[in-house]
């Protein structure tokens, strides 16, 4: 694979529900690397803000909470369909991170430069150790600009909404496709248009459209890419 040259870190970016985390996990397992889904960190910071009863519009207070939030990502501690366990200040918040209130506020919280600076600092510490697949919105552009392999994973908004609805259905949650599509479009817009570290492909990223390809096919293709 990779013509024998294995990249020490792989950066994967892309919009909501594009399949980037699934692909990242398959790649990480294949290489024996750690997977860091950076969206979890922004979600945990957002939950910390909501739990503290702070208005997410209040940038100064949000900043303070995000900076002091202790976020720990561990291997799954329960067999309930989770891929990992996330502790926020010591409390298991794995499922709460996917709640609607977090979905609706995360892009606002993630747009504040001070929140990003703190999360990027934490992400680089992990990236510096190598053997990592890091997934997010600004990994190839800002967090790990020297990553030897950068992927930008996309799919049509309709396909992404369908995937998100199917994922939730597996968890016993029924969502209307139109609502999910509206949330995805709104987050795409907020993430792409924000001033700091907007969602975009790095110039040297390999673009991968997963609309018509399942994750195994995509990963097989990635492993043939020259580095």
Indicate if the alpha-carbon torsion angle 50, 54, 55, 58 is positive or negative: negative
CB of 12 to ligand CDP, least distance (A): 10
Residues binding ligand CDP (CB under 6 A): 16-17, 38-39, 42-43, 106-107, 110, 136-138, 187, 191
User: What is the distance between the alpha carbons of residues 177 and 174, in angstroms, rounded to a whole number?
Assistant: 9
* DSSP state for residue 200 in the 8-state scheme: -
How many C-beta atoms surround the C-beta of residue 181 within 10 A? 17
User: What is the distance between the alpha carbons of residues 177 and 158, in angstroms, rounded to a whole number?
Assistant: 9
Task: Choose among 129, 153, 147: nearest CA to 217.
Answer: 153
CB of 3 to ligand CDP, least distance (A): 29
CB of 124 to ligand CDP, least distance (A): 12
* Cβ proximity to ligand CDP, 33 vs 42, nearer residue: 42
* Cβ proximity to ligand CDP, 39 vs 215, nearer residue: 39
Give the SS3 label for residue 13. strand
CB of 104 to ligand CDP, least distance (A): 10
* Cβ proximity to ligand CDP, 119 vs 222, nearer residue: 119
CB of 173 to ligand CDP, least distance (A): 14
Question: Per DSSP, what are the bridge partners of residue 136?
Answer: 13
3-state secondary structure 21-46: HHHHHHHHHHHCCEEEECHHHHHHHH
* Cβ proximity to ligand CDP, 141 vs 219, nearer residue: 141
* Cβ proximity to ligand CDP, 17 vs 26, nearer residue: 17
């Amino acid at each position: 694979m990779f013509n024998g040259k294995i990249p020490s870190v792989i950066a994967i970016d892309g919009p909501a529900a594009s399949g980037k985390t699934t692909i990242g996990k398959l790649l990480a397992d294949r290489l024996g690397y750690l997977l860091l889904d950076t969206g979890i960190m922004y979600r945990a910071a957002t939950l910390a803000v909501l739990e503290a009863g702070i208005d997410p519009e209040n940038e100064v207070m949000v900043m303070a909470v995000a900076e002091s939030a202790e976020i720990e990502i561990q291997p799954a501690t329960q067999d309930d369909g989770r891929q990992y366990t996330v502790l926020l200040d010591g409390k298991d918040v794995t499922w709460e991170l996917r709640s609607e209130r977090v979905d609706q506020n995360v892009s606002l919280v993630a747009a504040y430069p001070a929140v990003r600076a703190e999360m990027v600092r934490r992400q680089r510490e992990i990236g510096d150790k190598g053997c990592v697949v890091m997934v997010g919105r600004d990994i190839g552009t800002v967090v790990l600009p020297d990553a030897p392999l950068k992927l930008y994973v996309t799919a049509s908004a309709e396909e992404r909404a369908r995937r998100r609805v199917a994922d939730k259905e597996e968890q016993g949650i029924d969502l209307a496709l139109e609502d999910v599509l509206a949330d995805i479009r709104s987050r795409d817009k907020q993430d792409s248009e924000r001033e700091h570290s907007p969602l975009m492909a790095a110039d040297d990223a390999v673009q991968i459209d997963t609309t018509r390809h399942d994750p195994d096919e995509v990963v097989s293709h990635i492993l043939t890419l020259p580095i």
